[in-house]
Structures are given as C-alpha cells and as structure tokens.
Structure 1
C-alpha cells in the first residue's frame, strides 16, 4: 500500500490514513494488487508489445470500471529502468513541476515511483507507490514524478485524451 510523506515535516501516513487523506485532496487511490500476474510479466523491464497487452488484459475489469467512472479512453504501459535509454535525462524532465488538463492516472505493476503533489492547502506531499497501487491526480494539480531507490517502474497509464495529458510547466 502507498505511503504519504509531507515535505514540510517529513511526517508519514500509512495504511487507511493514506486513503482518507488522499480522498480529502480529491485524489483517487485504489489497490488492485498484482498477484494475478505471472512473475515474468512483473519483472521483465523489456516487455514485448504482446506482453504489454497481457498486462492490460489481466487488469481489464479494473481498467474498464475506472474508465467508465472517469472517462478514460486509452491505456498503455510505460516502463522506466536502468535499461531505459537516457533515464537520467528523463527523470530530470519528470521532476519539473507541472500540471495537466486531464487526470494523470497510473497503476504500478512493478517497481516504485513517487508523485510529489501540491495539496489543496498548498502543502506538498509525496505519494510513494508500490506494485498494485493506482493513483489518479486530478486535472490542474501541480505535481512531479520521480523514481525511488530501485530506479524502476512498470505502470499502466490511463488517459482521457493524449492532448490533455501533455505537461504544462
């Protein structure tokens, strides 16, 4: 389950308090788990298109349900790891604070990531994602993304429109 860390005092929230807090911020958090995936699909950081589709198919019911609620029209897989060309350059870009005109919705299949978000009270906090966590950051929330110490994440991305997902710095 995800953890929340506040930037101003390094305080952590865990367990059910994470869900309650994120709800007050208008951020969707769900835990879908990843037990249904074959270990090869979880740990492979160079998946083929066929393997990416197998991951999407494994979570079809959950993807369809949240897509119906939130209006998501497309889904794909993003993979970042030490195998990713120019990973350090990408991470510098991702750490630039920005917002989107649509939700930014991610489901962590493997690895770990951090969404740093400017909350409703202008207080910054991190959502530390683990495999099985889904987060949907609402439109126009200032945020950025980075990896945790393992420097890898495989995630399902859900979009309303690709154009609405473009970062506004």
Structure 2
C-alpha cells in the first residue's frame, strides 16, 4: 500500500463535483480504497474522500473509532468505503458539530449538520449498502459526501467566528 498525498484547501479538485465510479470492483478502485484507508488511519482522520487524494471520484472511506462512538445508536465501525453514495436527511433536525478536515490542517469550526441521515451506495465488493446514521457517523458521512460535491466545511458554516486553530479551540474547551 501507498500513503497518498492529501489535497489542500484551494486545490481545484476539491472545489468541483466528482464523477461516478463506473466499476466499483476494478483493480484500480480496490487499490485506491486500500491506499485511502491506510492514509486516513495514518493521518488519524475519521474519513477521507477521493477528491482529497486528487481523484475526482464519488467514493469515500470512513470509520468510527471507539472513542468517538456515541453509544448504541452510533457504535464503533471499522474502516469502510461508500461508493457512489446518496445521503438524505431523515428529518429537518440539525445539530452543530465541531469539524476538522485533513485538507484544512490545523483548523476546526462549528458546522450545522443533520442529526440523522439515510445513506445508500455500494461497498468495496460492489454490493448495495444502506442504513440510517446518527451521532458521529452521521457527521462523518455528511462531511465526506460534501467533498464529493465540491464543498468544504467552512462553506457550510453560518458563523466563521466559530472557526479557529485546533490548539486554541482545545485550549478554550471547544471539543466534539
């Protein structure tokens, strides 16, 4: 496996919608997914979208570490992939979540996200997957899905005054 170079804010691939994955089982896609999981874990991220590694494709990898699990409705999850995903809110209820991004290193900000979402797409074997996510998983899925549509989390913020450096946010008790 190979660690991939992460695109930084302002890179054109991050600001445009990604293309569907034509063949989820293609060897190149399987290699990309494996390399993305390795890169995500090495960078201590919770998710990584293909545009973040210079691939304009509709797929992302994610996991829910035990420390981020919000209980029975949001259990820990091993590294997984969602290919050609579709996300929809279950209702209109939103919650502010403190987010960071591997493409915007050292920064965090409060972003309104749907509390519960329905998701569907394909797994790494090309099989359909679907479900309802809440808690940390719902947040990660929405954040990574935005990357597939050319959206970075500051574009979703309603108050940029609630954005800051990781070290300062931690210093003043701002945590997820």
State the TM-score bracket (shorter-chain normalisation): under 0.3
State the TM-score, normalizing by the size of structure 1. Answer: 0.27
State the TM-score, normalizing by the size of structure 2. Answer: 0.26
Q: Which has the higher contact order (CA 8 A, sep 6+)?
A: 1
